Amino acid sequence: GPVKGGSTVIAFVKDPDGYMIELINKKDAGKGLGEG
C-alpha cells in the first residue's frame, strides 16, 4: 500500500511474477498509480 514519506508517496506493488515494483509519485499520488 501507499506509504507517506513527506511530500513523496512511495508505493510498493507486488508484481505477478513476484518482483517488487517501486512507484514513486510526487504530489500526484493516486493519479498515476496502476497506470504503468
Retrieve residue 25's grid coordinates: 509519485
Active-site annotation holds for 22: yes
What proportions of the chain, in percent to the nearest 5, are helix, strand and coil?
Answer: 0, 50, 50
Q: Which member of 17, 22, 28, 35 is catalytic?
A: 22
Q: How far is 19 from 8, CA to CA, in rounded Å?
A: 22
What amino acid positions are annotated as catalytic residues? 22
